[in-house]
Amino acid sequence: MLYYSLNKQAPNVDFKEATIRGLAPDKGLYFPDHIPLLPEDFIKDIVSYSKEEVALQVIQPYVGDTIPAKELDEIISDTINFDFPLVKVDENKYSLELYHGPTLAFKDVGARFMSRCLGFFAKEKKEKVVVLVATSGDTGGAVANGFYDVDGVEVVILYPSGKVSSVQEKQLTTLGKNIHALEVEGNFDDCQQLVKQAFGDNELNEIVVLTSANSINVARWLPQQFYYFFAYRQWKEITPPVISVPSGNFGNICAGILAHISGLPVKHFIAGCNANDVIPSYLQAGIFEAKQAVSTLSNAMDVGNPSNFIRILEIFNNELGDLKNILTSYSISDEETISTIKQVYDQQDYLLDPHGAVAYCALQKYLEQHRGEKGIFLETAHPVKFPACVEQALNKTIDIPESIAHIMHLEKRATVMAPDYNFLKDYLLKM
């Protein structure tokens, strides 16, 4: 498997080089030169495979021979050594809970897989690799945890000051060692722009080996396909599901669409967005117009220019009509998010986080127009990570799980900075 740049001005590379580089030299995102088709018998008999066997079958074609079979088996086993339960919420909606990993967020899978791949590749390199990542919330904690104490790798995480939850901030600022947090006085788009500037700085890249741990990196993006296969492995209904995904940077839902193209039965995808409605507007009007991100209760989705949407367009050869046949998108307000959390808790005794609430609400809107269908929404983070929102909806406090309670008392260690690229460049050069 080779990967080409979506800007079409860089050489093709294998999985190893795509992972280490993050972005192509022409600043384009890497994309596989073909989408592998999985055997029909594998899909038909998926319940007879362990989740480790499923994950290996899905990811091996993308990795190729860059990682030996034994090491890849170990990486996969270490990546997914927790549960991914599909929980029935009501008669036609199921929740795929993706928050049972170490940082209580779906991004644990991508971060753990990438960190272990990069750790394997770093053994062969003499230079130190610097992972540079922007986060709107959960990416930072997952990357910090996944890369913590990995030899030969330093991690620099940029996050918007005051726009992540207290739990999220503690998860990305308290580890120390090779994890460095930069608190940016701005929004997520400011953080993401700084990261893009760093990758586009030829002088910096001649001195520092930079790679990204955002979902622009193929090793973060591709293993997100696992969620969808794990969901289908537990699906007991007769017809394929509609799947609703809370969407910000669109890496997760893009991986789901990739899984579908590979052979996974899915009836339709729904991108649940918050007030940052670039993609719902595009699907309706046919005009893509990036916007300044606005702050919402579902902060991990506060993205005004989703980087991974270009990969979705590539899958469909930029044909809007073909894309609309498989993808619908809704913009869900904060008011709808709060009322959905309250309604589902009161009526179904099921507690949603704000991102899961957006996906649930979007799924509900779709099913109201498509009677008789059933669907899955992705619950991407534990509700405790967003206490203010959940407590506002329910007027009650929620307990912090023992697995993360200890970090709330640890000292925050972060460097405050303006959204100034020169500051970031100097910081990276001094590492």
The residue annotated as part of the active site, out of 107, 163, 170, 196, is 107
Indicate if 412 belongs to the active site.
Answer: no
Cβ atoms 79, 32 nearer than 8 A? no
Cβ atoms 358, 337 nearer than 8 A? yes
Distance, CA of 130 to CA of 213 (rounded, Å): 10
Cβ atoms 272, 332 nearer than 8 A? yes
CA 405 to chain centroid, in Å, comes to 24
**Integer CA distances (angstroms), 258 to 117, 162, 272, 312, in order:** 21, 34, 18, 9
Helix, strand, coil percent content, the chain, rounded in steps of 5 = 45, 15, 35
**Integer CA distances (angstroms), 141 to 134, 135, 248, 344, in order:** 11, 9, 17, 27
Cβ atoms 102, 108 nearer than 8 A? yes
In 3D, which of 199, 186, 329 has the Cα closest to residue 254?
329
Taken in order 359, 365, 370, 372, the sign of the CA dihedral is positive
Q: What are phi and psi of 24, to 5 degrees?
A: -70, 160
Cβ atoms 137, 355 nearer than 8 A? no
Distance, CA of 316 to CA of 53 (rounded, Å): 29
The residue ranges of DSSP E strands in 247-326, in sequence order, are: 268-273
Q: What angle do CA 31, 36, 38 make, to 5 degrees?
A: 145
Token pair, residue 258, equals 């990739």
Q: What angle do CA 157, 159, 164 make, to 5 degrees?
A: 130
Distance, CA of 2 to CA of 11 (rounded, Å): 10
Query: How many other β-carbons are positioned within 10 Å of the β-carbon of residue 376?
Result: 27
Q: State the catalytic residues.
A: 107
